[in-house]
Structure 1
Amino acid sequence: MADIRAFRGFRYDLGQVGPLSGVVAPPYDVVDAALQQKLYDASPYNAIRIELTKDSPGAHGDDKYTQAARTLNGWTSEGALRQDTARSLYVYEQEFVVEGVTHTRRGFLARVRLEPFGTGRIYPHEQTLSGPKADRLKLYQATGFNISPVFGLYPDAENEVYAKLELFLRKSPPVEATDHLGVVNRLWVITDSATVSAIIGLMGPKPVFIADGHHRYETGLKYLEEQKAAGNVQDDEAAQNFCMMMLVSMSDPGLLILPTHRLVSALPAVTGQQLKAALADHFDIVGAFGNDAAACWEHVEIEGSQDVLGFGTVADNEWFAAKLRDPAVMDGLAPDQTKAWRGLGVSILHKLVLERLVPEKIGGTPACQYVHLMKEVTDATAAKQCQIAALVPPVGMDHVETIAGAREKMPPKSTYFYPKILTGMVFNSLKKD
């Protein structure tokens, strides 16, 4: 059972730190050096100073984690960050624009009991890397806080959970922040004990699928293990047993999974005709679009099938769509995976096209860069930053639920849930209730 709790979050005192827009930041994994500096310049209280602390001149080893802890302690000591007096759930709404269309994604922040994967009702869908987990663990150890939330999804076709929270949104205005991408983020604090109890009851039978933040979740498990070994976990209700999580219904109309297109390089120059010939044994060409990348992507979107991929060759700016003729070819290429996994567009692209057909028929060792918007694709091809652009249909929530529910992980870069959940809306102490 998914075991959630209201909690006493730490939030900025806006009377002291200024507008919320100046102190929030994206999560660490999407912040480059230029954005990091921009956020540092925005405010001495910007959450990036804890989430992704800059290395000081002459610093060594783990100094930046110690600095993050000093910064956080300073903010709490001077009252820039204050702990809420009542245990709360935090309704979090994000309004954003993708390809000219406005969307609103709604959910709530809560503490969720940590469960080792494979033992309970929390399911991952992506593989993790050791480097980011080691980094986050040092931050947890130094600060004793969840700085940013994990992003979890739960089934709720009737929208029962959010409907109970929505009743309170008209009673008080939210705090609001607009991030560097123009996403409007709004937060309401829900303290009504009857509502909190009802939400906990409704969530109890539901599974939770991790959409984003796998590294943070696994780091929470490791931190809990360390804290238990040190004798610091008093009981099953201690704060270390939980992680802060943003929970969104899988039926929420604003829940968007963007496609992750591949820009393929480290190949010889290849024309559209050559790529079609390389694919011919296993694919039918189902659309030819000349130099019109947008028309190619529109075809893939309208087709709505995981076995239709779009391709553009930079050498001659030719775009076409190709459909896998017989999915049985994937059985031999990924025999240890499920049928659902083998049927994903990203699986077909990598296992069949990039790992087999392109090296055998064209040569080279394909290397990928990953982008999500068509403008990013067309800018990269115009600048000749790759030899082939591959347009990949986005996976659906049904794919995430089926594959993760079978305790199987998707190929890397299968999903991109946009927008990212901001750091700094709420912080969660791993030491205090």
Structure 2
Amino acid sequence: MPRFLPVTSYVSLPKKVDEISNIVTPPFDDLHLALRQERASKSINNFVRFESSRELPGEKFDDDLDVRAKNTLDNFLKEKIISIVDSTYYLLEIVCDGKTVTGFMGMLELNTPNKPDIFEFTDDAIVNDRLQQLESLQIQTAPITIGYRTDEQSAEIIDDTIARIRKNKPIYEFEYPAGSSNTIWKVPRNEAIEPLLSKKKMTLLDGTGRYLAAVKHSNKIKKENKNISQFDSTNFIFAWMIDIEHSQFSFKARHWSLKSGIAPGIDGQNLLIKLEDFFEIERYKFLKPGSKDAELINLLDEIEYVGKLNHTYGLYVGDKAYYAMYLKNAESYERLSNVKKSRRWKRLDYCVLNSIVFDGILGIGWNKPENLEKFSMSISPQRAVSLVDEGFADATFLVNDPLPEHIIEIAESGETISSKCIYLTPKPLVGPILARIAPNTLVEDNLFSSSGKNKLKK
């Protein structure tokens, strides 16, 4: 089973602690153009400048983008925006939408026989981009999120440990985004964290691209140096460990917008006719100017309510109306013998939509990474709808949020869905804590376990 050890980290040191909300950024996987621009405008030292795959708005950049990221890191060190800290664990608590998720941050061992279960596949381009950033910066800019299962005895001890640590003064306490609070404590040296969190049954909840890039990087380093220490930092990945059973995390749906011109000959009305073979369709007409937003709320409420009993979706094709789509025969779909997947996999709203509509009607094999580029995926339903109005998409499909236990079940069964289907919330930000991952930088073994307070009962 993987071990979970302390992290040698860079910690952000803005001149005023309350300024940290101006320099952090969401994980690069989740940055869209407007958010990228908003973060870049907050501060010249915003961590969005670590992003290696895209130029920033208004930027004229002649060198490779990973060179910009490396130059930014060098400047952060020179200006003392970040400073290196000795090995330790951290406790991260995020409160978002009235829900609290708390877990420990440290270094999770890679390449062990018992790896985390993974529920999503991702294409090589994403993995290689994360690998390029990792090799250029020799840091991991944010932790992946790991959900673990534990017994009641260990869970009680972990809760007691968290309660003790929360009595201390946090090193950070800030709000970002609006309404979401982030609090980080440095774990005292007398707390034994590793015995509680190592060797657990785990599921990778977020950061598949970063995880696979770290594995690829580790294998490359081992090939170059066969005598490398098992505690070399390249054999580990920075992770936020949360309890699957007791954490209030959730997955948000990404809504799918079919890019303009991808399906020649299929306009909004043709698509509706084809969909009627599989779905009951109800029209939500815009009754008066300005009713579009209100009708969207009504539609989302409807598909959420009915979606508890049947596969239900929203559709927008730009004709002054929304449509609710109700699958006609869910039972027969779930029994399809030509779909070689489990009943749980077939019951996911995404899998139904992709199998029947994208693959069956549009002829787009959604499980091929290159075909995912034919869609725009948006967390915001308003943004997804606007893509049709702006001419970037011919149709937008609105999807209900999946239940976390269904995603975990799929992961534990060894099946996968696209990495762009869903979005974990909450998730750690880029910037507060960065992990040092470089050859010959060692992860300390059992730093706190010998003198820690936590003792498992026998």
Same fold (TM over 0.5): yes
Q: Any conservation in 2 of the 1:8–1:88 contact (CA below 8 Å)?
A: yes
User: Match of 1:223, SS?
Assistant: helix
Match of 1:176 in 2: 173
Matches within 5 A, 1:130-149: 130-149=124-143
**Counterpart among 108, 112, 115 of residue 111 in structure 2:** 115
Aligned to 1:323: 327
Q: Distance in 1 between matches of 2:419 and 2:253?
A: 13
Q: CA deviation at 1:306?
A: 7.5
Distance 1:327 1:115, change over 3 A: farther
Q: Residue 205 of structure 2 aligns with which residue?
A: 211
Which fold has the larger relative contact order, with Cα–Cα distance below 8 Å and residues 6 or more apart in sequence? 2
Cα offset, 1:397, TM superposition: 1.7
Instruction: Write the mapping of 1:348-363 to structure 2, written as runs, cut at 5 A.
Output: 348-357=352-361
Structure 1 residue 207: Cα displacement:
2.1
Contact 1:278 1:358 in 2 (8 A): no
Structure 2 portions without partners, runs of 5+: 287-294, 365-370, 443-458
Partner of 2:13: 13
Does 2:425 align with 1:418? yes
Displacement after TM superposition at 1:309 (Å): 1.4
CA gap of 1:306–1:227, structure 2 versus 1, over 3 A, is: farther
How do 1:24-103 residues align onto structure 2 when only pairs under 5 Å count? 24-32=24-32, 35-52=35-52, 59-60=62-63, 63-76=64-77, 79-85=80-86, 87-97=87-97, 102-103=98-99
Identify unmatched segments of 5+ residues in structure 1.
none
Q: Secondary structure at the match of 2:142?
A: coil
Output the CA distance in 1 between the equivalents of 2:426 and 2:82. 25
Residue in 2 aligned with 1:339? 343
How many positions carry a matched residue from both structures?
A: 414
Aligned to 1:4: 4
Match of 1:409 among 404, 416, 419: 416
Superposed, which structure 2 residues align to 1:260-339 within 5 Å? 260-264=254-258, 266=261, 268-271=266-269, 278-284=274-280, 289-291=284-286, 292-305=295-308, 307-314=310-317, 315-332=319-336, 335-339=339-343
In the TM superposition, what is the alpha-carbon distance from 1:331 to its structure 2 partner?
4.9
Deviations 1:231-252 (A, max 9, x none): 2863111211101012222234
Q: Name the CA shift for 1:355/1:243 in 2 (closer, same or farther; >3 Å).
A: same
Quick one: which amino acid aligns to residue 82 of structure 1?
A: S
**Residue number among 215, 223, 228 corresponding to 1:221 in the alignment:** 215
In structure 2, what residue type is equivalent to 1:301? E
Q: 2:102: which partner in 1?
A: 106
The answer on 1:256 being equivalent to 2:254 is no
Structure 1 window deviating more from structure 2 (415-424 vs 330-339): it is: 330-339
| 1:23 positional shift | 2.1
- CA offsets per residue over residues 355-384 of structure 1, 9 Å max, x none? 224679xxxx99533223343355456667
Fraction of identical pairs, as percent: 18
* Inter-partner Cα distance in structure 1 for 2:62 and 2:394: 41
Q: CA deviation at 1:322?
A: 0.4
Residues 155, 373 of structure 1: CA spacing in aligned structure 2 closer, same or farther, 3 A cutoff? Answer: farther
Contact 1:330 1:352 (C-alpha < 8 Å) held by counterparts:
no
1:259 alignment partner AA = A
State the partner residue of 1:370: 377
Instruction: Quote the offset at 1:7 in angstroms.
Output: 2.0
Mean Cα displacement is larger for which, 72-81 or 420-429?
A: 72-81
> Does the aligned pair in 2 maintain the 1:309–1:391 contact within 8 Å?
no
Query: Match for residue 394 of structure 1?
Result: 401
Task: Give the secondary structure class of the aligned counterpart of 1:168.
Answer: helix
* TM-score (norm: length of structure 2): 0.78
Alignment CA distance shift 1:219-1:356 (3 Å) = same
Secondary structure of the corresponding residue to residue 152 of structure 1? strand
In 2, are the aligned partners of 1:148 and 1:423 still within 8 Å (CA)? yes
Which of 143-152 and 245-254 deviates more?
Answer: 245-254
Question: CA RMSD for the aligned pairs?
Answer: 3.3
Whether the 8 Å contact between 1:261 and 1:370 is mirrored in structure 2 is yes
CA contact (8 A) 1:157 1:251 kept: no
Q: How far did 1:129 drift?
A: 1.6
Deviation at 1:33, TM superposition (A): 5.0
